[in-house]
Structure 1
Amino acid sequence: MTSTIESAGARNVAEGDAQHLIDLETIRYGLIEVARDMHQALMRSAFSPIVRDINDCTAAIHMRTENGWEMVASWEGCMQHAFTSQHICNFTMNEWDEEHLDDGDVILVNDPWRGAIHCADINILRPVRINGRAEFVLHSTSHVVDLGGPIPGGFANGVQTAFEEQLRFPPTLLYANDRPVKSAFNYLLENVRVPASVLGDVRALNGCLVIGERRLRELIGKYDPELVHKGAVYGIEMTEAAMRAGIREIPDGDYTAEDVIDEDGVTDESVPLVMTLKKRGDSIEVDYSGTGRQPLGNVGTAWCEATRCIEGIKFIVDPTSAVNSGTLRPIESILPPGSAVCSLPPSSVSNHVDIGGRIVNLVAQAMGKAMGDKAIGCDSGTLGMLTLGGVDDRPGHVGNPWASFALAGGGWGATWKGDGLTFCTLAIGNCRTSVQEHVERESPLVVVQHEIMPDSGGAGQHRGGNGAVYTITALSETAITVTGDRTRIGTPGTKGGGRGMPFYGWLIPDFDAKDPASLDVFDLRAAEPLFGMFDDKGVPTPDGGTFGLGTKYASAKVSGIVLKPGQAIRVIIGGGGGWGDPLARPTADVLDDVLDAMHTRGYSEKAYGVVFSDDTTIDEAATQARRAELAAAREAGQWSVPTACALEWRTA
């Protein structure tokens, strides 16, 4: 399909006067600045760390057009929200009775089947009326630390229906003419564990929209509604044109990728995921046919994968233009109803992150088949998130309920240009890891270890970014939910690159931060394995080990872990996949990685075929001979790139 938009608006402007073009450009960026101010106000005023520190939030502006409500501007937050935002607005406004809409009315919605990603992400929408008619809708969204249900935080691992999850709101009036609707607030706050935090976040979500409306009306007053409308459409068309130009560079064809979710948290059955990108001209169809049925556990998603896949495509074909509805226009999705990517109610869909992260992995793999040497390795493919909560026992805090999140961070895949990024969260989120000082001040927790995990990034001519090791101990009895995947097989590399390390977890019953052995990630003598691939000696063994051998759990999607004072939990998030043949990696780069503690000497010898003369020197002649031997063994099917994992574990 050939684009009919080489931006009609831009083309007409080019034939008109320069001042008109300047006005449209100013309005386009002015709308983005309004969204930026909304987002910054939200982060400055939010109470919970998941908004204020982790950045699991976003802000957007929607406008009424002939195509319905279209997103005309957003700002960098948790970007997966920006891609679903326009659909939430359409669901809500199509359902709302506009005849009774007044200035200052604010609507709350968090229903996954009305566009939200999961119930823990609450959406606040503020219609802006111009001459008595709603012409814009300002939208803020964030994850909240609790919204009721069986566990704090919203990842109800082990449940099977939405009735067992958090509070679910259809479009509900939250403010009427800028006054709180008492019944809505009472229902919300009396059904959550940490009402002060939730109330603070809701007020922040609404407050940023008040700021946004003031700024938007200033923009409209400076120009006029019709010109602002034209500027917004112009911005949409500019983004659409950029997306279509990037898509045109990809060869036409059908590109299929497959992956699996380990299990669903209820059964031990894996969940197959299949994606076929059908690229024609300047558009793409994303077809999920072949994906497994909706699971019994909570890992399925309502339908948000229709848009999250677009995020992965944009990273590759158009990483610089602004995100608005023009980003979505060139891409269509086919979601088989009743599948893992389009679960039907009343199934549980609270754990969206595992499939969400894997969807971007699938995009990377499918696009890699089209892009040849410019393929990229996958990121970690799991957040390995810890959701924590309880009642505080610390002096001065006794009896206070609390809740918190921990994102350890993983690694991104390598590219043809260089090594992958280390110590960052999944691409779907654009989020950050926790601010540990805030965690310790606001919660009865001590983060004793948060650092780069050696030997966690996939080997390659360019290695994958390394993941993280995260160890946390409790000062009060703490309930923990672990939400993770990639426990059986690490994230894949590309063009001959190796896999990243899988996800692992341990409980340390008698933790002593003053004891070096407690802080030594390679010392497993006092650690009890919770999940992962192990050999019969309890050593992490991704290649040839057995999942669940000697572990407490047969899943990394576990609720109800109780951490008592003096105990610690440790998780390791694997890194990204490697790019290219590791036997072609320059020996100087291998040595630098060993000296920088990104890789250990033992794993480097095994994966890169290097031979060390001593701890700081590589024997180049011996390395050349060794690499030739490994290349010949690989050709004969007797050697393959080992999955990233250290060799120097101590169990006795």
Structure 2
Amino acid sequence: MLDTDTNRTAVDPVTLTVIEKGLQQVCSEMDLVHEKTSFSPVISEAFDRSNGIYGREDGRIIAQGALGLPIFLGVMQETTRSVIAERDDLEDGDVVLINDPYLGGTHLMDVKMVRPFYYRGRLWCYLANTGHWPDTGGMVPGGFNSTATEIHQEGLRIPPVKLVRNGQMDPELVKLVLANIRVSEERIGDIKAQIAALATGARRLTALLDRYGQDVVEAAIAELETRSETMMRAHLETIPDGIYTASAFMDSDGVVNEPLEVNVAITVSGSDIGFDFSRSSPPCAGPMNSVWATTLSSVYVGLKHIFPDVPMNAGCFRPIEVAQPKGTFIYAEYPRPVAGCAAEVSQRIMEAVFLALANAIPDKLFAAPAGTSGNLSLGGYDPERGENYIMYYFSGGGYGGWWAGDGLTNGCSTIGISKSQPVEILEQRYPILFEHYALREGSGGAGTYRGGFGVDYRLRLLRGQGKASFLMEHGRTGPPGILGGEAGAPNRIEVGHGGEVISPAHFSKGEGFVLREGDWIEVHTPGGGGYGPATDRAPEAVERDRERGYGCSESDR
């Protein structure tokens, strides 16, 4: 029936809930197809991907799968908007390929596909996904080039081009892409997996519309956006009005060995919140610049961490205003290199947001988490298999203590729900052996509630030769505590090379480490910061840590 006050179809609460879950299920099935059919372990095992539904007029997010990386919430929205602006010639059955960071992207390895979805001859929405390809060319295997000084050194940059026309993949474009990346036989599997995920979404969304009708589904989407906005505003009203400031620091940009500052001023007024990053460091020489889409999405994900119950759609973004920080390293413009923006800079942006709001709403905040994805790339030739390989690996770290407990140990990065790939899978596919993998005991910052622990691992190259690169963070200083809590242990990297042990000059970043049989890499990931003074920690909690061997070791600090 029609709501006479709004001239919009009214949707009863039961149908509204069913449609909400149905839209999420469409995206989650896309995620599963993407995961199960990908060739790369970073997608199939670590879930570094996302799928969603986006508005036909403005690319706004309608739904995203529960299994998708949160950092892609705002990013894929901006990507879809760029495709809408750049391509007015898309037809039913087309799929656009894009990874251009300056057109709503992240780094070059996050490759997006966007498909216009037609229902009964009418453009109804866009389906889009992102998959992290382990390589897109560039100076180093894996793409995490810590010394790049322009985007062209980082890999193949793809504008929005038609990969699929009328349901048929363009073989010439595929040849062009595969000719410019390493281990191309693996990438074609990832390409087909993304296309298959979009096809699944189209089928499932068609079935949903067939069942409930376009008018009812569109009305439900509008109502869900309104409710999400209302819930976000209710949460924001619990923050006292005022201006809250904080800074978080990157170790370096990989080229100039000096910290970079993310400075935020947050203005809260009733149910509106604004973010000003204009006092952050200027654009940097190295690859730790962040494009606008990533910076914006980092703010969205940061607030989602604080208010996790708000359903994610375009409505929850309406009370949030983020001023474009032009002239800073978190508003990268061509040709600035950006390899670290999604995996590392985004987490420092969120850290600044958490620190700024900690004193305003301490009962909803937590000390800083590890704040790094621990990006490690290893590429080379395996003589036993007679083939080249590229391994991309990321690891967990400690989460910060919070108002009701200690931080999570070996948690995923702040930007996602991805997990570390099983070492057994990696040992099967690549010429390596993980010699140990353990908790980094004592790495959590002391506090009333201590930070969670990072991890220690060592991998050894068993045969052949490989080139390793690192792009991590929190190596100069550990994740800070709040309200009197102490910082967690900083990141530490060691490379056993030719009988000597060396560490990157930039603490957490480096490349060009050529490994030979028997050489090894050891990584100690950060622990989370502590919450509140350590002197207020409950005696029974201290005793429990002692019994479990969780004591603080000076060698870890």
Indicate the TM-score class for this superposition, using the shorter chain for normalisation: over 0.9
Q: Does 1:276 align with 2:249?
A: no
Q: Which amino acid aligns with 1:214?
A: R
Give the structure 2 partner of residue 134 of structure 1: 123
Contact 2:378 2:391 in 1 (8 A): yes
Q: What is the DSSP-based 3-state SS (H/G/I as helix, E as strand, rest coil) of the residue aligned with 2:458?
A: strand
Structure 2: distance between partners of 1:238 and 1:228: 15
1:375 to 356, 362, 365: 365
Q: State the alpha-carbon separation in 1 of the partners of residues 502 and 51 from structure 2.
A: 41
Aligned twin of 1:59: 51
* Correspondence for 1:313: 303
Of 127-136 and 437-446, more deviation after overlay is shown by 127-136
Alignment-derived partner of residue 240 in structure 1: 229
- Aligned match of 1:387: 377
Q: Is the CA contact 1:490–1:503 (under 8 Å) kept in the aligned structure 2?
A: yes
> Which segment drifts farther, 347-356 or 462-471?
347-356
CA 1:499 to 1:121, structure 2 compared with 1: closer, same or farther past 3 Å? Answer: same
Counterpart selection for 1:24 from 13, 16, 21? 16
2: CA distance, partners of 1:20 / 1:268: 59
State the identity %.
30
Report the counterpart of residue 468 of structure 2 in structure 1.
480
Tell whether the 8 Å contact from 1:407 to 1:425 is kept in structure 2 after alignment: no
1:229 pairs with 2:218: yes
Alignment of 1:236-635 (within 5 A): 236-303=225-292, 304-316=294-306, 318-352=307-341, 353-372=343-362, 374-394=364-384, 397-398=385-386, 400-475=387-462, 476-509=464-497, 528-531=501-504, 553-600=505-552, 603=553
Q: Please state whether the residue corresponding to 1:112 is helix, strand or coil.
A: coil
Q: TM-score, normalised by structure 2?
A: 0.95
Which shows bigger deviation, 257-266 or 367-376? 367-376
Change (3 A) 1:155 1:16: closer
User: Scaled by the length of structure 1, what TM-score is found?
Assistant: 0.81
Question: What letter corresponds to residue 354 of structure 1 in structure 2?
Answer: E
Q: How does 1:66-85 map to 2 (within 5 A)?
A: 68-75=58-65, 76-85=67-76
CA 1:16 to 1:51, structure 2 compared with 1: closer, same or farther past 3 Å? closer
Are residues 249 and 527 of structure 1, via their aligned partners in 2, closer, same or farther at CA, if it must alter by over 3 Å?
farther
Question: Which letter maps to 1:240?
Answer: E
Are the aligned partners of 1:454 and 1:599 in contact in 2 as well (CA < 8 Å)?
Answer: yes
Return the alpha-carbon distance in structure 1 between the equivalents of residues 150 and 414 of structure 2. Answer: 28
Q: Which amino acid aligns with 2:469?
A: T
Structure 1 SS opposite 2:410: strand
Which whole-Å CA distance do the structure 2 matches of 1:86 and 1:375 have between them? 27
Amino acid aligned to 1:498: E
The CA distance in 1 between the partners of 2:217 and 2:425, in whole Å, is 41
Change (3 A) 1:589 1:244: same
Any conservation in 2 of the 1:244–1:283 contact (CA below 8 Å)? yes
How many Å separate the matches in 2 of 1:38 and 1:290? 40
1:241 deviates by 1.7
Shift of 1:555: 4.0
Any conservation in 1 of the 2:401–2:528 contact (CA below 8 Å)?
yes
Q: Is the 8 A contact 1:86 1:325 kept in 2?
A: no
Q: Which residue of 1 aligns with 2:155?
A: 166
Preserved CA contact (<8 Å) 1:62 1:70: yes
CA pair 241-527 structure 1, distance change in 2 beyond 3 A: farther
Q: Deviations over 1:465-500 (max 9, x none)?
A: 000111111123111111122222111001111100
Q: 1:374 to 1:31 in 2, by over 3 A?
A: closer
> Equivalent residue of 1:590, what SS?
helix
Q: How does 1:108-257 map to 2 (within 5 A)?
A: 108-257=97-246
* Amino acid paired to 2:351: N
In structure 2, runs of 5+ residues without a counterpart are none
Letter in 2 for 1:297: G
Q: Could you tell me which amino acid in structure 2 is paired with residue 530 of structure 1?
A: S
Alpha-carbon distance between aligned partners in 2 of 1:90 and 1:152, rounded to the nearest angstrom: 31
Which string of whole-angstrom CA distances, capped at 9 and with x for unpartnered residues, describes residues 94-144 of structure 1? 21123xx32211001111111011111000111011343322111110110
Aligned partners of 2:348 and 2:371 also within 8 Å: yes
Provide, for residues 45-91 of structure 1, a one-character-per-residue CA deviation record: whole Å limited to 9, x for no partner: 111011111111001001225xx222111013221012211111111
Q: 2:453, 2:527 within 8 Å by CA — same for their partners in 1?
A: yes
Larger radius of gyration: 1
Report if the CA contact (8 A) 1:338-1:344 is conserved: no
Question: Is residue 278–residue 326 contact of structure 2 (8 Å, CA) maintained in 1?
Answer: no
**Structure 1: runs of 5 or more not aligned:** 1-8, 511-525, 532-552, 604-643, 648-652
Instruction: Provide the C-alpha distance between the structure 1 equivalents of 2:392 and 2:369, rounded to a whole number of angstroms.
Output: 21
Number of residues of Structure 1 aligned to a counterpart in Structure 2: 550
Alpha-carbon distance change, 345 to 646 in structure 1, aligned in 2, over 3 angstroms? closer
Asked if 2 retains the 8 angstrom alpha-carbon contact of 1:104 and 1:175, the reply is yes
Q: 1:388 & 1:505 partners in 2: Cα distance?
A: 14
Write the distance in 2 (CA, Å) between the matches of 1:385 and 1:349. 14
Q: Secondary structure at the match of 1:449?
A: strand
Is the 2:142–2:390 Cα contact (8 Å) retained in structure 1? yes
More divergent stretch after superposition (265-274 vs 373-382)? 373-382
Deviation for aligned residue 1:509: 4.1
How far is 1:12 from its partner? 7.2
Q: Is the 8 A contact 1:501 1:645 kept in 2?
A: no
**Quick one: which of 20, 23, 36 aligns to 2:28?**
36
For 1:645 and 1:355, locate their aligned partners in 2 and report how far apart those are by CA, in whole Å: 28
Q: In 2, Cα distance between the equivalents of 1:253 and 1:232?
A: 33
**How many Å separate the matches in 2 of 1:241 and 1:200?**
42
CA apart distance, 1:285: 0.8
**Structure 2 letter corresponding to 1:283:** D
**1:44-55 counterparts in 2 under 5 A?**
44-55=36-47
Query: Relative to structure 1, is the Cα distance of residues 54 and 16 closer, same or farther in structure 2, using a 3 angstrom cutoff?
Result: closer
Task: Tell me the CA shift for residue 186 of structure 1.
Answer: 0.6
CA contact (8 A) 1:259 1:362 kept: yes
Alignment deviations for residues 130-160 of structure 1 (CA, whole Å, 9 cap, x no partner): 3433221111101101111111222121010
Q: Distance in 2 between matches of 1:332 and 1:357?
A: 19
Q: Which amino acid aligns with 1:64?
A: R
The answer to whether the 8 A contact 2:68-2:417 is kept is yes
Alpha-carbon contact 1:408-1:450 (below 8 Å) kept = no
Match of 2:88 in 1: 97
Residue 216 of structure 1 aligns to a residue in which SS? helix
